[in-house]
Amino acid sequence: MAQELEPHRALGEKFESWIKFDFDATRCPVRNLLDHIGDRWSILILSALAGGPKRFSALARAVPDISKRMLTQTLRRLQSDGFIDRDVQPTVPPQVTYSLTPLGKSLAGPLLGLIEWAETNFASVVEARAKMAEAA
Amino acid sequence: MAQELEPHRALGEKFESWIKFDFDATRCPVRNLLDHIGDRWSILILSALAGGPKRFSALARAVPDISKRMLTQTLRRLQSDGFIDRDVQPTVPPQVTYSLTPLGKSLAGPLLGLIEWAETNFASVVEARAKMAEAA
DNA sequence: CGGGATCCGCATCGATACTG
DNA sequence: CAGTATCGATGCGGATCCCG
């Protein structure tokens, strides 16, 4: 009846195939992606840049609770993964603008799916947690 | 021409709306989801269970490099978030089976999207990293 | 303005040993 | 079998100071 395999079945089959990579993070695509954007900040930064290019200080303002250290670190990593571009204008004072690469933009689709899920199902999760808490 | 907004544009607009939550993890759905399944193991466990219910030891075998400690901890958390069910058969020795709840299954869709992206774009990421490395 | 360098606390996680 | 308890390392991440 469904035109495709149910998502969770498909996910289960995917999982089986990962074993072939011996769960080596350098070879398993999923582990690799998780290791690189699964941290606290990457998805936030990527989302912030999704609306258009932003300068370093603008990013810092957009994500108020990130330290400069972590912002720099996260940006470097996203850059070396090919998700964002770094454009330096050698003016005084310097202007550095970050923007999504085509690869970065292509990641926005899947990310958006996850985020929309979070928004629609947030209430259910909170409810589930409340039930667990009162059971304890 | 696109029947919907380009994904990265849509993501950018989402991001703007998160600011209203003051980036409080207890109220912002996205931060909350990230805090709970953004760790190293949750997505792996969820994927392992997507193929069908599994017992504790079966999960340990499916994800070889997880310690019992982390497996237990991750399972408890996924359970309290309402993603998985824990079924205990009071036999000797005990049998504990974990399975995805409907909520957990509903998460499989978005997750699958992300995973398929990782598989198709893994090569590009590796290539980007190689370019960065040689530039240094 | 856009970082780099350094110091350091704190939470996370792994290994090991023990239990019902 | 399916955990719990305890200990210890490690490394993430914040705070601070400095620089071109």
Give pLDDT tens digits for B54-88: 999 999 999 999 999 999 999 999 999 999 999 99
Extended strands (E) in chain A: 54-55, 84-89, 95-100
Nearest CB to B32; choose among A40, A44, A122 = A122
If we measure between CA atoms, which residue out of A109, A86, A61, A88 comes closest to residue B7? A109
The single residue listed with the structure tokens 């009846």 is A1
Express each pLDDT in A57-78 by its tens digit: 999 999 989 999 999 999 999 9
Q: Chain B: nearest CA to A116, how far in angstroms?
A: 9
Under DSSP, the state recorded for B81 is T
Express each pLDDT in B85-98 by its tens digit: 999 999 999 999 99
- pLDDT band of residue A2 (cuts 50, 70, 90) is low
CA B92, C1' C13: Å apart?
31
- pTM for the whole thing? 0.92
- pLDDT band of residue A126 (cuts 50, 70, 90) is very high
Phi, psi angle pair for B100, to nearest 5°:
-75, 135
| Lowest-pLDDT range of A38-47, B14-23, B31-40 | B14-23
**A79 token code pair:** 């850059």
Q: Is there a contact between A50 and B81 if contact means CB atoms under 8 Å apart?
A: no
- pLDDT above 60: residue A131: yes
Express each pLDDT in A80-123 by its tens digit: 999 999 999 999 999 999 999 999 999 999 999 999 999 999 99
If we measure between CA atoms, which residue out of B52, A68, A91 comes closest to residue A59? A68
Q: Which residues pair with B24 in a beta bridge?
A: none
Q: Chain A: nearest CA to B45, how far in angstroms?
A: 9
Nucleotides of chain D within 7 Å of a protein C-beta?
1-6, 12-17, 20
Q: Is there a contact between A9 and B50 if contact means CB atoms under 8 Å apart?
A: yes
The helix (H) or strand (E) run that includes residue B87 is: strand B84-89
